[in-house]
Chains A and B, each alone.
Chain A
Amino acid sequence: MKVGVVTFPGTLDDRDAARAVRFAGAQAVALWHADSDLHGVDAVILPGGFSYGDYLRCGAISRFAPVMQTIITRAGEGMPLLGICNGFQVLCEAHLLPGALTRNSELHFLCRDQKISIENNKTAWTSSYSQGEEIVIPLKNGEGSFQCDDATLARLEGDGRIVARYVGENPNGSRNLIAGITNERGNIVGLMPHPEHAIDSLTGPSDQGLGFFTSVLTAMVNK
Chain B
Amino acid sequence: MAKIVVDVMLKPEILDPQGTAVAAALPRLGFSFAQSVRQGKRFEIEIEGEPTVEQLAQVEKAAETLLANPVIETFTVRVEK
A residues within 8 Å of B by Cβ? Answer: 56-57, 60-61, 64, 92-93, 95, 98-100, 102-107, 145, 147-149, 173
Contact = CB atoms under 8 A, between A and B. Distances in A.
A106 B17 CA distance: 7
B14 interface: yes
A106 B20 CA distance: 10
Contact of B69 (A57, A64, A105): A57
A173 B15 contact: yes
Given A57-B69, A93-B69, A100-B69, A107 B21 contact: yes
9 interchain residue pairs of minimum CB distance: A100-B72, A100-B71, A103-B17, A107-B17, A105-B17, A147-B14, A57-B69, A100-B69, A107-B21
Interface residues of B, number: 12
B66 A102 contact: no
Contacts, number: 37
B15 A98 contact: no
A64 B67 CA distance: 13
B15 to A, nearest CB: 6
B13 interface: yes
B69 to A, nearest CB: 6
A131 to B, nearest CB: 29
Contacts of B13: 149
Interface in B7-64: 10, 13-15, 17-18, 21
